[in-house]
Amino acid sequence: MPPHRGHLYLLDFARTFADSLTIVVGSLEDEPIPGELRYRWMQELFPFDRVVHLTDPNPQYPHEHPGFWAIWKNSLERICSSKIDLLFASEEYGAKLAEVLGARFIPTNAMRESIRVSGTDIRNDPYRHWQEIPRPVRPYYTRNVVFFGPESSGKTTLSRALAESLGALWVPEYARTYLHGREDDFELKDMEVIARGQWSSTQAALRAGYPLVLSDTDALTTLLWCQELFGQVPPTVSELAARERPDLTILLKPDIPWEEGALRLRPDTREAFFERCLEALEEHGREYRVVGGRRDAREAEARHWLQSLIKKSPPGRAF
């Protein structure tokens, strides 16, 4: 775990060799990556084969139980539901297991010298081994950072510049897309669409296969603007703001000159809005860092926090 390029080779070999293939995903409750999530990954990776999830608390090594082989025989025959003719594995245990099942062992370890990767290596440093991780699995390790703050505090400029320099995927502000051409004509109901659009943009970006996703804004920002402009928050906006779980939020100080622009409404309330941003981040239990100063200084500080985030122990994101 997690599935990697070596597993894909094994399974592509097996599905080409056999007339029909059953892929068994075995998991235990205390494993570092949830079995249900790995099962869904394999369903996505191999939609035309039969994928089954074995959750029996079986021993993992023969020395752990005198009935090891019989236990595994019973589990596999039950979950596969039909006679097992061929057993594919890249480990030596496959020969003995095939014998117990009355099946023919088909070894597939010839590519071990060419595909040098292990689940342990990926879990310890997924970004170093990013190309070995299949696309459906990558979102589990993707870091998501939100840029947050008052109007004209440099969120767009900074997030886009950092995304370009770090090779990250940048998620723009959906409100600018949705309200293009009618920036001065929107209602409370539009805020629900904006929040959903921002949420959907970020979720789609997290599945795009990049190690790092930088979002210009989020649903929590939309919630604050609902309060600011309309004095109320639609339930949908509150729900989405509560569901957001970015790995880090970078809150920008309004200590740079105001610049006019579409959807910039209240230059005189930036300091008060900044304080409300701080309160909202605390209320929602967000991990955040405050960044300010001149453009070069704030870019250097934000870059420092992003690089520190990547060096932390790998995340785990369950979708």
- 236 vs 171, 242, 286, CA distance in Å? 21, 10, 20
Among candidate residues 132, 165, 182, the one where a domain is terminated: 132
Q: What percent of the chain has pLDDT over 70?
A: 93
Provide the pLDDT for residue 210: 93
pLDDT band at 265 (very low <50, low <70, confident <90, very high): low
For residues 127 and 29, state if they share a domain: yes
For residues 98 and 190, state if they share a domain: no
For residues 200 and 222, state if they share a domain: yes
Q: Using one digit for the tens of pLDDT, what is the confidence trace for 147-171?
A: 999 988 889 999 999 999 999 999 9
Mean of the pLDDT values across residues 4-23? 94
On average, the pLDDT of the chain sits at 90
| CATH number of the domain where residue 85 is located | 3.40.50.620
pLDDT band at 315 (very low <50, low <70, confident <90, very high): low
> What is the rounded distance in angstroms from the CA atom of residue 17 to the CA atom of residue 34?
30
Among candidate residues 78, 99, 132, the one where a domain is terminated: 132
Q: Using one digit for the tens of pLDDT, what is the confidence trace for 167-215?
A: 999 999 999 899 887 767 788 999 999 999 999 999 999 999 999 999 9
Q: How many domains does the chain have?
A: 2
Among candidate residues 71, 98, 132, the one where a domain is terminated: 132
Full domain range(s) for residue 191: 142-311
Cα Rg for the chain, rounded, in angstroms?
A: 25
pLDDT band at 258 (very low <50, low <70, confident <90, very high): confident
| CATH number of the domain where residue 293 is located | 3.40.50.300
Query: Is pLDDT above 70 for 50?
Result: yes
Query: Is pLDDT above 80 for 267?
Result: no
Provide the pLDDT for residue 319: 45
Looking at per-residue confidence, does 318 or 56 come out higher?
56
- According to DSSP, the β-strands at 86-89 and 104-107 are parallel
For residues 296 and 155, state if they share a domain: yes
pTM of the model: 0.84
Q: Is residue 215 part of a domain?
A: yes
Q: Is residue 42 part of a domain?
A: yes
For residues 168 and 277, state if they share a domain: yes
For residues 83 and 207, state if they share a domain: no
Mean of the pLDDT values across residues 55-62? 94
Q: Using one digit for the tens of pLDDT, what is the confidence trace for 65-98?
A: 999 999 999 999 999 989 999 999 988 899 999 9
Q: Is residue 316 part of a domain?
A: no
For residues 184 and 51, state if they share a domain: no
For residues 263 and 146, state if they share a domain: yes
For residues 155 and 274, state if they share a domain: yes
